[in-house]
Amino acid sequence: MDMNPSTPLRTRPLLSPNTFARRVWLPINDFIAGSDISRQLTLLEQSQWWKTEDLQEYQNKRLRSLIHHAFTHVPYYHDLFRTLDLSPSDIKTKEDLVKLPILTKEDIRKSPQRFIAKNIPRTSLIHETTSGSSGKVFEYFVDKNVESISRAMGLRGWGFAGYRVGDNIVTLAGSSLLPKNVPLYTKIRFKFSQNLPLSSYNLNKERLDEYLQQIIKFNPRFIRGYPSSIAILARHALEHGIDEVNPKGVMTTAETLSKSQREIISSAFHCDVFDQFGCIDGGENASECDQHRGYHISVERSVHEFLDDNGCPVASGENGHIILTDLWNYAMPFIRYNAGDMGVPTDRTCPCGRGLPLLERITGRTVEQIVLPDGQRLPGLPLTDVFEHGNIVTAVLDYQIIQENVDEFVVNIVKSDSYSPAISKEIQEFMWGHLGRHAEIRFNILDEIPRTDANKRRILICKVNNVKNQKGN
Ligand SMILES: [Zn+2]
């Protein structure tokens, strides 16, 4: 200690900003919002280091509880168990789940009310929609516990990249990460949680310059968002010699991260890229740690099965359908839910020491890039956000955007009874907002969206300049 009396005393805060944010701000946030994020995060920060068998035991315990709840309170499952002559005691572990059929979005769409638990007050149901990787809008309900565990899981996943609550962060994304119609409280939370939201729409040269200046001024510890958008920003920074963006890490999600995107982001911003994978309707959350050996699966949140086309488990290193059982959504339980994603599990363990198993890679998600007349590439995902807007959600049952030529787009639509020409006009205006009015946009009303040879459905197909597209991304 400096004892020189002439040296002015410097007062140091009792708590560091991160400790304050974690120990004071987050619990206050919970108290105001009636959430439980802080406590759940504390538990998750401990459980990530548990031994694999302890995590399995925890998972099976939650599974038994969910199964009992579903049989007792959820009409669909009550009837299903009766039909199959099963009782809740027949499903004790993950391995027993094979006794139940795979659940698809179509199954749920047929009678969504039958999946809602009867003992959950209707007023506490929280409405969610997702277009997910399949692109088709899907509506479901969760309760407040799901919101808390999802947020806590997200914060833990960011923690794998070194993030601490209170760190400032830039989010560059579309509506799946930056919803427009959020309550005032969420906007305030964004403000206080040191989050600078930047829309990934219309990333032209002027906007990229403006964003880079904003980011330099904000000096974030982390940047997160759609990999295609961050890669465009990174390329722009490299091309213009802008070298002052130096976050501790970049976290990517919502689209498949390509190797070249990872390289360009890492090179422009001088940091590691941490990819994350989520499927919110399935309760999926998987994130890379600093070892980059795959994605740590959050087994406390959901049961993962990786199955071949015949429903048999695939071996370590083989590609399989990701089947999820969310262990937290008691409002509308989905057991053995196929959200349409595929991935490769692995038996390898991670040198970081976490007991959470690894998902080697995601194989079933691709979001195409749109090519503009000047050669600029735009991420496709934001363009499909229009299908989550207002009346369009119910008027359009299914959709697909095809870029035939630089200035020519075809929108395939499967309509519901509430569809009208005004809906097409609204979609057209939205697309023109991003593409410019020179773009010709045609609509095709179809009975069904065609699938690829591999029977996969693609929400966006770009037929233009694919070679350059791949090279650039
Ligand atoms: Zn690890």
Whether residue 339 contacts residue 326, with contact meaning beta carbons closer than 8 Å, is answered with no
Boundary-marking domain end, from 366, 390, 412: 366
Task: Report CA(300)–ligand 1 centroid distance (Å).
Answer: 16
Whether residue 152 contacts residue 40, with contact meaning beta carbons closer than 8 Å, is answered with yes
Statement to judge: residues 337 and 437 lie in one domain = no
Task: Report CA(272)–ligand 1 centroid distance (Å).
Answer: 14
Task: Report CA(299)–ligand 1 centroid distance (Å).
Answer: 14
Lowest mean pLDDT among 127-136, 274-283, 322-331: 127-136
Residue 402 CA to residue 431 CA, distance in Å, equals 12
Boundary-marking domain end, from 336, 366, 396: 366
Task: Report CA(415)–ligand 1 centroid distance (Å).
Answer: 45
Lowest mean pLDDT among 39-48, 310-319, 389-398, 442-451: 389-398
Average pLDDT, the chain: 86
Task: Report CA(48)–ligand 1 centroid distance (Å).
Answer: 10
Statement to judge: residues 69 and 175 lie in one domain = yes
The neighbour count for residue 46, using CB atoms within 10 Å, is 9
Q: Is residue 2 part of a domain?
A: no
404 contacts: CB under 8 Å, gap ≥ 6: 410, 463, 464
Task: Report CA(349)–ligand 1 centroid distance (Å).
Answer: 8
**Residue indicated by tokens 């962060």:** 169
Statement to judge: residues 116 and 69 lie in one domain = yes
Task: Report CA(54)–ligand 1 centroid distance (Å).
Answer: 17
Task: Report CA(43)–ligand 1 centroid distance (Å).
Answer: 18
Q: Range of 282's domain?
A: 16-366
Q: Is residue 4 part of a domain?
A: no
pLDDT in tens, 311-344: 899 999 988 889 999 999 999 999 999 987 778 8
At residue 246, what is the residue type?
A: N
Does the pLDDT of residue 236 top 80, yes or no?
yes
Statement to judge: residues 172 and 315 lie in one domain = yes
CATH of residue 425's domain is 3.30.300
Residue 12: band (very low, low, confident or very high) from pLDDT cuts 50, 70, 90 = low
Task: Report CA(223)–ligand 1 centroid distance (Å).
Answer: 20
Statement to judge: residues 241 and 265 lie in one domain = yes
Residue 228: band (very low, low, confident or very high) from pLDDT cuts 50, 70, 90 = confident
Tell me the percentage of the chain whose pLDDT exceeds 70.
Answer: 86
Statement to judge: residues 263 and 382 lie in one domain = no
Q: What is residue 108's predicted lDDT score, i.e. its pLDDT?
A: 93
Task: Report CA(286)–ligand 1 centroid distance (Å).
Answer: 11
**Total domains present in the chain:** 2
Task: Report CA(94)–ligand 1 centroid distance (Å).
Answer: 23
Provide DSSP, 215-229. HHHH--SEEEE-HHH
CATH of residue 294's domain is 3.40.50.12780
Tokens of 196: 């600078």
Residue 455 CA to residue 463 CA, distance in Å, equals 19
More confident residue, 369 or 44: 44
Tell me the whole-structure pTM to 2 decimals. Answer: 0.76
Q: Is residue 6 part of a domain?
A: no
Phi–psi pair at 466, nearest 5 degrees = -65, -30
Statement to judge: residues 227 and 129 lie in one domain = yes
Does the pLDDT of residue 427 top 50, yes or no?
yes
Task: Report CA(352)–ligand 1 centroid distance (Å).
Answer: 4
Q: Is residue 220 part of a domain?
A: yes
Whether residue 231 contacts residue 208, with contact meaning beta carbons closer than 8 Å, is answered with no
Find the helix or strand (DSSP H, E) in which 425 lies: helix 421-435
